[in-house]
Amino acid sequence: MERDAALEAVFMPVRPPTTFEETVERLGTAIRLGLLPPGSRLPAERELAGELRISRSTLRQALTTLVQSGHLTSVRGRSGGTFVAARLPVTEVEGEPLRSEALAVLDYRVAIETGSAILAAERAGPDDLDRLDELVERMAAAAEFEEYSRADIRFHISVAEASHSPRLVTAMTEVQGDMSRLIALIAHPEVVLTRSNDQHRHLVELLRRREAARAAALIREHIEGTEHILAGLI
């Protein structure tokens, strides 16, 4: 595959820690913009992982996500490989309305999540923090994504409850409902869920220490992963 400067940028090394999410965004955006045209074949797995400077397992997870979303197809055999789908998925045909809505929801989420974290760091009581710890452990023990997701949603609403602001609780409940529809569009590899819950655990530690600024920065980092994936898929 011949490459111009724009396509070369697609295959630049991906930065940690959100290597999976950024790989999905990078490849999905390149497909949407036509930099990777329909029917084109991606480089071999070993070569592509080397160019992006990510592990082959991370690359496989990203490619699986894009296959599941309909952006890529996987063909086995001697002439097989990973190819850009001949037709873009339905979310691309209806892309502009969905994309605009998603961006609005994501912006709203940043405001509500960071505001909740700041006030929770200032106001959370022992019972609030114990509840958050309990939800972290529930996510760690979850055997299915649906179980993890229910605890995850409840965790974020509980952060708002720890702010002791009824309006923030209402807003957080609304934004979590909006996000659940968007998150249903993407895959959830175990490694990503584990890292996400590690951030949950760290957030509770920061809330206990009343470190509002660091809590806000962490929650912003926490939600960037979802933003990267959605940016590549819609």
Report pLDDT for 181. Answer: 84
Walk along the chain (234 residues) and give the pLDDT tens digit of each residue.
556 677 788 888 888 778 888 999 899 989 988 899 999 999 999 999 999 999 999 999 899 889 888 899 988 877 778 999 988 775 543 445 567 788 899 999 999 999 999 999 999 999 999 999 999 999 999 999 999 999 999 999 999 999 999 999 999 999 999 998 888 877 778 878 898 999 999 999 999 999 999 999 999 999 998 888 888 887
Report pLDDT for 80. Answer: 79
Token pair of 64, please?
Answer: 């699986």
Report pLDDT for 38. Answer: 92
Report pLDDT for 233. Answer: 80
CA–CA distance, 138 with 216 (Å, rounded to integer): 23
Query: Is the Cβ–Cβ distance between 118 and 215 less than 8 Å?
Result: yes
- What are the residue ranges spanned by the domains of the chain? 5-89, 94-233
What class does CATH assign to 5-89?
A: mainly alpha
Q: 12 forms bridges with which residues in the sheet?
A: none
Report pLDDT for 93. Answer: 37
CA 40 to chain centre: 26
Report pLDDT for 97. Answer: 57
CA–CA distance, 176 with 13 (Å, rounded to integer): 32
The domain made up of 94-233 has a fold known as Four Helix Bundle (Hemerythrin (Met), subunit A) (1.20.120)
CA–CA distance, 226 with 109 (Å, rounded to integer): 11
Largest CA distance in the chain: 62
Q: What is the pTM of this model?
A: 0.79
Radius of gyration for the chain, computed over Cα atoms and rounded to the nearest angstrom: 19
